[in-house]
Amino acid sequence: MAEPPGIAAGDAELTNAGLFERACAVLPGGVNSPVRAFGSVGGTPYFVARGQGAHVWDAEGNRYIDYVQSYGPGILGHAPAAVIGAVVAAAADGTSFGAPTEREVRLATEMCARVPGLEMLRLVSSGTEAAMSAVRLARGATGRNKIVKFAGCYHGHSDSLLAAGGSGVANQGLSGCDGVTPGAVADTVVAPYNVVPDVDGDTAAVLVEPVAANMGLVAPAEGFLEGLRAACDRAGALLVFDEVITGFRLACGGATEFYGVRPDLWCFGKVIGGGLPVGAFGGGRELMGHLAPLGGVYQAGTLSGNPLATAAGLATLAALDGSAYERLEAIAVKLAAGLEGAFGASGVDAVVPRVGSLLGLFFGDGMPRNFDEAAASVASGLYAPFFQAMLRRGVALAPGPYEAIFVSLAHSEADIDATITAATEAAAELA
């Protein structure tokens, strides 16, 4: 069999540039998720060879303090011993069965015990699948078609939810997606974040990121989530929290515990897989009873409840008690203050929003409240040179200005101090 184009026997020692050239021959854009191509920040992407704790090493042996952390799952850092041990043990028993296993029952039980109001859930393989399935369930349970979402909130790449989809499309300079037909989004209404929309009797569900983490980081305004709850109650619509990022990161019970607002449906991912592909959607017992085989809303997946993913998720959640969240927030508080000080010392206008352990970065003198204001910050063009200046100093941020900054329990005082020093020098370059 012929080798793929661009790959020849006896290649010289691998480099990031060499790997990217080879990748472009066999992967569209050289990547399997668009933001990884560095289109928003320029330059050649680094290829991760391995990770440990707060750090990753690229193909050339360069070490970076990593604030990507797989966009959220790395809440314990990379390759934590407890998670790796659980995955290895699970793999020895078999990697996939297409049949029920004990660990999926244990993971669902643990999640329901943590989140107030969550009584049943269905495990899937990604956050996209969770959100897509939650929409189908909401429509099936209510008999209505219309969905309300918010500009800049990303709920995965299913057709009906890509409208004004935040980081998923915004990092590529796109407002939508080719191949999504007008009919696919005909029942999707897009509203501005932090404004309670009109919810009428034709609305099946209102989907929201309780903390918008796909347009940078935008916190919910006071009363916004409560207003959504009240509007849905008046209209008989379902409120759906997309907690793929916030779930089990903000608190033991996610955004529901953090803000005290209870939705009808939740979408989860990231943390509950401990770095392996997983997602989940869930709600009250009666609502979840609409799912097959109990009801008429069909959803299925061969790899749903995968034994390796559930083992990793259980090991991750076992490490996340109240003290863990206190430590995470303390790390984030120190980093946020250090970044603000770095920009202030150089006279660079920038703000560093923080919600719990989630951080963002916006250039400009105002704190964005919605996607339009976040996009105005991005239009300054300062994120790309700051990203590159940090990368040269061994600090890896997300290669797109609409992403969040993720700290982990593995980030040490020395890591944070080194990051602040790098930011001070990078800010001086910008100035």
CA distances from 144 to 29, 68, 151, 267 (A): 39, 38, 22, 20
Please state the length of the chain: 431
Sheet of 358-359, strand order: 354-355, 358-359, 405-406
Classify the phi-psi angles of 368: left when phi > 0, otherwise alpha if psi is within -120 to 50, otherwise beta: beta
Please report the pLDDT score of residue 382 as a whole number: 97
3-state secondary structure at position 301 = coil
Catalytic option among 154, 193, 259, 402:
154
- Residue 328's closest CA among 52, 35, 77, 18? 77
Which residue is associated with the tokens 């608190």?
A: 251
Structure tokens at 129: 């699948």
pTM across the whole model: 0.92
Catalytic option among 58, 66, 242, 415:
242
Catalytic option among 64, 66, 270, 415:
270
The span from the CA of 108 to the CA of 282, in Å, is: 10
| 242 part of the active site | yes
- The pair phi, psi for residue 53, each rounded to 5°, is 65, -125
Please report the pLDDT score of residue 178 as a whole number: 80
Q: Could you read off the pLDDT tens digit of each residue along the chain, which spans 431 residues?
A: 344 444 444 454 689 999 999 999 999 999 999 999 999 999 999 999 999 999 999 999 999 999 999 999 999 999 999 999 999 999 999 999 999 999 999 999 999 999 999 999 999 999 999 999 999 999 999 999 999 999 999 999 887 787 655 555 544 454 567 878 788 788 999 999 999 999 999 999 999 999 999 999 999 999 999 999 999 999 999 999 999 999 999 999 999 999 999 999 999 999 999 999 999 999 999 999 999 999 999 999 999 999 999 999 999 999 999 999 999 999 999 999 999 999 999 999 999 999 999 999 999 999 999 999 999 999 999 999 999 999 999 999 999 999 999 999 999 999 999 999 999 999 999 99
| 270 part of the active site | yes
What b/e string do you get for 188-203 counting C-beta neighbours within 10 Å, with b at 16 or more? bbbbebbebbebeeeb
| 365 part of the active site | no
Please report the pLDDT score of residue 160 as a whole number: 78
